[in-house]
Structure 1
Amino acid sequence: MDGRLCSKVGCAREAVATLTYDYGDQMAALGPLGPAGHPHAHDLCAQHADRLSVPSGWLVVRHEALRA
């Protein structure tokens, strides 16, 4: 583990995905764990990434890593 934990309050699981929001376009993007330190990105564990919900009318784009 590289020390990055889920951003959800009270969650101590390892982060596996990164969530970003585009408020202007009402869109949320969820993808593989991105570079650390981006102020507008939120790291999520697998459980919270799977349970992601957004406001009504928003679009969720899920980027999956290619598997060999």
Structure 2
Amino acid sequence: MNGRLCSKVGCAREAVATLTYDYGDQMAALGPLGLADHPHAHDLCAQHADRLSVPAGWLVVRHEALRA
């Protein structure tokens, strides 16, 4: 275990991915867990990373290493 938990409220699963937002470009980027905890990023467990949804019109960029 990496010691970092999913940032979703009420979730106690291990984080495996990091989510960042670019509000100006209306884009969300989901990639492998970042090396360090960052205040402007959100760590997610596999379940929440798979179920990620964003506002209508936004683009989601998923790092291919997350695909099994």
TM-score by length of 1: 0.91
Percent sequence identity over matched residues? 94
Q: CA-to-partner distance for each residue in 1:1-55, whole Å, 9 max, x for gaps?
A: 1210000000000000000000000000000001223111000000000000000
Q: What secondary structure, in the 3-state scheme, does the structure 1 residue paired with 2:55 have?
A: coil
Q: Which runs of 5+ in 1 are unaligned?
A: none
TM-score by length of 2: 0.91
Aligned length: 68
Q: Which runs of 5+ in 2 are unaligned?
A: none
Residues 26 and 16 of structure 1, relative CA distance in 2, 3 Å threshold: same
Contact kept, 8 Å, 1:19 with 1:44, in 2: the verdict is yes
More helix by share: 2
Give the distance between the partners of 2:67 and 2:21, measured in 1 at CA: 25
